[in-house]
Amino acid sequence: MGRLHRHLFLITFFFAVCSFLLAGGASAARQEGKAPDFITITCKNTLYPDDCISCLSRHAVAIGRHKSTRRLAGAALRETLTQAKSASAFVNRLSSGDSSRRPSVSREAGAVSDCTDRLSNCVQLLWRSLWQIRHLGSRGTARYRYNLSNVVTLVSAALTDETTCLDGFPSSGVHTNTNAALKDEIAGVSRMTSVVLALVSKIDGA
């Protein structure tokens, strides 16, 4: 009888553990892709809440568990860097690729050339910002405040490059489809950079 009770206990325990793990996995799956309240509330205080929520919802599980503005800003910065690299690659292809797509109007060609340099610089600024936010140091220290201030400066400079790039394009031209695609790409990066700047400003000590 004692052996039977032990077997029953072990079987019951095994099923209890399995049920717990399955429930936890299902809960995580439900949260994946869905922005928890922390993300939604924080994103609502940016200029582009829809972009913010859409971008950060894929990090919902990690961010929602810690509820850290620094993590939120870091995740937004990584996503923005990825978008900036994509935009930079796009404008590089445009300036050096198929001649049928290459702008022929002098002002349009000049805008693309300027964007090539500015987006390349933007990527470098965002890389430096990401490294800096990962190495802020201990909260409340002079080093922490200095590094956080550097992040704000770098992200602001990246946003300036993106805005200047957008402003350089003529409102009309022969390559309107190309212009529209490029401007949409850069505008998306610009919106997310604005989001990053807003999130960084909410980190303690900013």
Q: Which domains are assigned to the chain? A: 81-200 (1.20.140)
- The confidence score (pLDDT) of residue 94 equals 77
- The confidence score (pLDDT) of residue 93 equals 84
Residue 87 has pLDDT above 90, yes or no: yes
Confirm if 196 and 76 have CB atoms less than 8 A apart.
yes
- The confidence score (pLDDT) of residue 62 equals 75
Q: CA 152, 157, 163: angle at the middle one, nearest 5?
A: 125
Six token digits for residue 117: 């340099």
Q: pLDDT band for position 50 (50/70/90)?
A: very high
- The confidence score (pLDDT) of residue 22 equals 41
How far is Cα 71 from Cα 146, in angstroms, rounded to an integer? 18
Six token digits for residue 110: 């000049």
Residue 33 has pLDDT above 70, yes or no: no
- Judged by average pLDDT, the poorest of 109-118, 140-149, 153-162, 183-192 is 109-118
Q: Which of 111, 48, 113 is nearest to 83 (CA)?
A: 48
Six token digits for residue 76: 């937004």
Confirm if 132 and 147 have CB atoms less than 8 A apart.
yes
Residue 148 has pLDDT above 90, yes or no: yes
Residue 101 has pLDDT above 80, yes or no: no
- The confidence score (pLDDT) of residue 140 equals 86
How far is Cα 197 from Cα 77, in angstroms, rounded to an integer? 9
Q: Which of 91, 79, 101 is nearest to 121 (CA)?
A: 91
